[in-house]
Amino acid sequence: MEKTFIEKELEWIERLIISKTSIVEKDNTLITEPPLSNESYSILLQNQKMNLIERIWLGLALAKSIKPEILAHFITDDDELKYKIGGFIKPHLNVFVPTIKTVLFLSAGEDYTLMQEHLAILNPRNRLILDQILIVNCLGTQRETEEKEDDWINYHFRIPNTYLRYFLTGEEPRLDEDAGFPAYLASTSLNFDDITLSQTIRDELEDLMKYMEVRDKMLGFENVKGKVRENYIVVFSGMPGTGKSITAKTLGKKMNLPVYIVDLSRVVSKYIGETEKNLEKIFDRFTGKPCLLFFDEADALFGKRTEVKDARDRYANQETAYLLQKIEEFSGVAILATNIQDVENTLDKAFQRRIRRHIHFDFPLEEERKLLWEKALPSSFTFDKDLVEYLAKDYQVNGASIYNIISDTIVEAVYQNTNTINFELLERFMKIDYKRRRVNFETCTDEQATKNPSKRFGNIYRGSF
C-alpha cells in the first residue's frame, strides 16, 4: 500500500534530523523533500507557497503532534550538540519539544550567516503564525508571541486542532476556532433566493458578486496587482430588520464563501492600544483568505474623527487612523453594516473614499411585504384567504418583524392543532412586535407612513430614514 504524503513528509523530516545529529557526516544533498501531491497537507504547502525553511518548521510541528518518537533523535548527552539543537525535554514524559532554534539547526546548521537569514523568515509576522497554522508560545507559558519576543529562538510551537483535523481528514479549517478571537463563522438555513430584496438592491449586488467570482483569476494576471484594488469594501445601510445581515450571510452561501462576523464587543476596548491589537488580529487573519468579512454596526468603528479636546479624543482618532490603514492594506471582501442612512455625514471622509459601493436597504413597501409574508410561512401552513394582501397593505412591518411574528404564530397554531393562519392568531404577536419597536399598533398604508413616518418607525424616527 502506497504511503500517504504525510508519512513521506515525516520520513523526510526524520532522515534530516538523523543526518544533522549523527556523529558520522552524511551527504545532505541526498535528503530531498518528497514531491507534492493532492492531499490536504500538500495542498496547504502549495497554497502558502512555503519555502524549505517553513516546510521544516511545519514538519517538526507535525511530528510533535503525530509521531513524536521521530524527535527522540534530538535527545543527546553531548552538551555542545544539545546547545546547538535547542528545544527541551518534557518532564516525566521524556518527549522532546522543538523550538525555533531547532528549526534553525536543521535548516542552517552551524552557518551563522545562513542562520540569520532563516531567522528573518521564521519571524512572529510569518503567515504560518498570522493564519494560525502554527501557534507559538514562550517556554513553560501560554503567553502569546506578541507579549515577549526577546527570546524568540527558544519559543516552542504546535499545530492547532483545526489544522491538524484538516491535515488528517481533509475537513476545511475554520478561521475562528481559537478562544477569544473577535470574529465568528456565520450560518444560515436560508439561501440567497429565499430572501426578499428589491430589484435595485439585487442589481447593486451584481457587481460585488462578479468581483467575488473573478477575484482570484483577475489577480493572477500580470501587472494587475498594484493597479487595481485588491479589496472590495461595501456599506450596507438601513434600519434594523431590513435584511442587511441575512443578505450578507446568504450572499456568502451563494458564492461558496464562508462569512465571518466581527464581534465588536470583543474588538473595541477601553484600554489604550487594545482596539488596535484586536483589529490587527482580524485583518491579519482574513486578508487574502477566500471569505467574506462582515462588520455589524460598523459606524462604531468607522465614525468621523473628532476635534481633539483631550487624550481620549486623541486616542480615538488614532484608532480610526489605524483602522483606515488596515482597510487600505486588506486584501478581500468586507461588508460594513450600519443602521444609519446618512453615511456621508456619519462615516469618516477618508474611509468613504475607500468604499466601492453603498447599498441602502429601505423599509419594505407593500409589494415587498407581501412577498415577505408569503415566504415566511412554512409550506405546511396556509394563510386565510386575502389575509396576506391585508397584512401587506395595512401593517408597517419589516422582514425581521415578520420572521418573529410567524415564528410565534406557528407555535400557537400547532398548540391549537390548526394549520390555517388567521388574523386572530397573528394579532397578539403583531402587538408584541409593535410594542418592542415602540410603534402604535394601528393600520397604516404606505401613503400614510410617508406623510407621518412615526407610524412606521415609532419614536426612533429622527428624520434620517
DSSP string, 358-415: EEE-PPP-HHHHHHHHHHHS-TT-EEPTTHHHHHHHH----HHHHHHHHHHHHHHHHH
Q: Which three cell numbers stand for residue 118?
A: 532563516
For residues 394 and 312, what is the distance between their CA atoms, to the nearest angstrom? 48
pTM of the shown model: 0.74
Pairing of strands 183-185, 259-262: antiparallel
User: Where does the pLDDT of residue 462 fall: very low under 50, low under 70, confident under 90, or very high at 90 and above?
Assistant: very low
For residues 60 and 70, what is the distance between their CA atoms, to the nearest angstrom? 9
The alpha carbon dihedral of 131, 136, 142, 147 has a sign of negative
Residues 177-206: pLDDT tens digits? 776 788 899 999 999 998 999 889 999 999
Q: Which of 101, 153, 102 is nearest to 124 (CA)?
A: 153
For residues 287 and 333, what is the distance between their CA atoms, to the nearest angstrom? 9
Predicted pLDDT of residue 143 = 42
Predicted pLDDT of residue 463 = 39
Q: Which of 236, 261, 241 is nearest to 249 (CA)?
A: 261
For residues 445 and 395, what is the distance between their CA atoms, to the nearest angstrom? 7
User: Where does the pLDDT of residue 304 fall: very low under 50, low under 70, confident under 90, or very high at 90 and above?
Assistant: low
Predicted pLDDT of residue 223 = 82
For residues 297 and 266, what is the distance between their CA atoms, to the nearest angstrom? 13
Are both 183-360 and 366-460 of the same fold?
A: no
Helix (H) or strand (E) holding 261: strand 259-262
Residues 385-420: pLDDT tens digits? 999 999 999 999 999 999 999 999 999 999 999 999
First-last CA distance in the chain: 67
**CATH, range 366-460:** 1.10.8.60
Pairing of strands 292-295, 183-185: unpaired
Q: Which of 436, 433, 389 is nearest to 409 (CA)?
A: 433
- Count CA atoms within 13 Å of residue 149 on its CB side: 8
CA dist 335 to 58, 239, 245, 252, Å? 34, 16, 10, 11
Q: Which three cell numbers stand for residue 334?
A: 468586507
User: Where does the pLDDT of residue 303 fall: very low under 50, low under 70, confident under 90, or very high at 90 and above?
Assistant: low
For residues 274 and 202, what is the distance between their CA atoms, to the nearest angstrom? 38
Least reliable range by pLDDT among 133-142, 226-235, 354-363, 440-449:
133-142
- 422-432 as b/e: b if 16+ CB within 10 A: eeebbeebbee
Answer yes or no: CATH 3.40.50.300 is held by domain 183-360: yes
Helix (H) or strand (E) holding 80: helix 79-85
Residues 61-89: pLDDT tens digits? 999 999 999 999 999 988 999 999 999 99
User: Where does the pLDDT of residue 315 fall: very low under 50, low under 70, confident under 90, or very high at 90 and above?
Assistant: low
Q: Torsions phi, psi of 307, nearest 5?
A: -65, 135
Q: Domain map of the chain by residue range?
A: 5-169, 183-360, 366-460
Least reliable range by pLDDT among 170-174, 209-213, 223-227, 277-281:
223-227
338: which strand partners? 237
What angle in degrees, to the nearest 10, is found between the helix axes of 387-394 and 366-376? Answer: 130
pLDDT above 60 (res 307): no
Residues 278-300: pLDDT tens digits? 888 888 888 888 899 999 887 77
Predicted pLDDT of residue 145 = 41
Predicted pLDDT of residue 259 = 95
Pairing of strands 382-383, 292-295: unpaired
pLDDT above 50 (res 141): no
Query: For the chain, what percent of residues have pLDDT higher than 70?
Result: 89
Predicted pLDDT of residue 144 = 43
User: Where does the pLDDT of residue 148 fall: very low under 50, low under 70, confident under 90, or very high at 90 and above?
Assistant: very low
- Count CA atoms within 13 Å of residue 156 on its CB side: 16
Predicted pLDDT of residue 464 = 39
Q: Round the average pLDDT of the chain to a whole number and report it.
A: 86
User: Where does the pLDDT of residue 162 fall: very low under 50, low under 70, confident under 90, or very high at 90 and above?
Assistant: confident
pLDDT above 90 (res 276): no
pLDDT above 90 (res 227): no
Pairing of strands 88-90, 95-97: antiparallel
